[in-house]
Amino acid sequence: MFLVNRLEKLVSRVRARQPVPLRLRLWSGQSYELGPDPTVTITVPKASALRYFVAPDLMTLGEAYVEGHIDFDGPLQEAFRVGERFARVAGGSKLAPLKQAVRHTKTRDRKAIEYHYDVSNDFYALFLDPEMVYSCAYFKREDDSLEVAQTQKLDHILTKLMLRPGERLLDIGCGWGALIFRAVEKFGARAVGITLSQNQHDYVREKIRAKGLADRCEVRLQDYRDVPEEGGYDKVASVGMFEHVGRKNLVLYFGRIRALLKDGGLALNHGITSIDPDSRAVGMGAGDFIGRYVFPHGELPHIGLVLREMSAGGLEATDVESLRLHYARTTEFWASRLEAAAERARAIVGEKRYRIWAVYLAGCAHGFAQNWMNIYQVLACKQGRAGMNPLPLTRDYMYRSA
């Protein structure tokens, strides 16, 4: 009865502050509407689940859904938007408290990668494009499909890098290999991809064999700290990987990229960043949810910190491009595709894992659209002799094929 009374006070407070189009339906049959014309209904099957509504934020609501203590009726992305509005009106803050940086060892990073990426290749195939590109797409037109936009992203990266036939490319965190295959097949390069995911490694190795590219393409199960060929690469790309590096390791990370590049070599870092100058995580419990259920030990640096540490690591930043709105659209595609394939997803990874990824992707689509976080491509150069930089004076070269 105590929790019911707390809930009734909360409902009254939300209605008075800013009504939310949400209905709460209790196990007893009683329901509460927090605003007119509810678009989402949350079902609370037992009294103990009311504890998640005492001080609701995105962590508590997400946990309640993932662990099966509540359910909802309504489109997934609408449910997230309504849940976020409910949490915000109930008193949540946007930015999380400043936390100590996580210690990133090779073993800890490998286990974190295994947790996120070694779920199931078949599961990821349900919502990714046919080339299995698990990073922000690049939309040139409003009506671009996800498949077209992902190919455009690959070409955008390789064009920025001025990749030439015969050059050697290293892809740090190569995923399921789309970038290295594009580099070899369209740009005529030789490519090495590294990953800490066994599933990804095995998938890419088999695809290299099937494509007959073993003489020009290689995949390794390897940490970026262990790549041996110093000065052995003309170009280095890192796409959707440095979120796992850790703030304290950024200088080491960029310094390692510099060491692997030839003099005058180019690197492109593509990754999610915090919007907070102090590199705080997303607040209202969203960052806590991601850390617990999605990306263990992940850390998002602010773009200012990225540029500072890149410079400290010996690389000259030459171009910075925000893709925030592109990632909002990308994750909206992914969330919609996963929701449409919910039955098959549950059969592959189970109910809990499906719910984790469903909430995460819907939250990313909302969060990027609302500027809770950003994503940047930063192009950088390793200078050799004084002033050595191979880039043209303008950015025109990046868009000649547009």
Rounded to the nearest 5 degrees, what angle is found at the Cα of 51, between the Cα atoms of 296 and 36?
Answer: 100
Coil, strand, or helix at residue 377?
Answer: strand
Read off the DSSP letter of residue 44. E
Specify which residues 128 forms β-bridges with.
Answer: none
Question: Around 342, how many Cα atoms within 13 Å sit in the side-chain half-sphere?
Answer: 12
Closest CA to 357 of 304, 293, 302, 267: 293
Q: Nearest Cα to 201, choosing from 228, 184, 226, 180?
A: 180
Distance from C-alpha of 4 to C-alpha of 8, rounded to nearest angstrom: 6
Exactly one of 136, 217, 364, 381 is catalytic; name it: 364
* Residues 352 and 68: beta-carbon distance below 8 Å: yes
Report yes or no: 213 and 181 within 8 Å, Cβ to Cβ.
Answer: yes
Phi/psi of residue 380, each to 5°? Answer: -140, 160
251 burial via Cβ count (<10 Å: 0-12, 13-18, 19+)? middle
Contact 309, 273 (CB under 8 A): no
Angstrom distance (rounded) from CA 83 to CA 65: 11
- Check if 364 is active-site: yes
Alpha-carbon span 362 to 61, nearest angstrom: 14
Residues noted as catalytic: 364
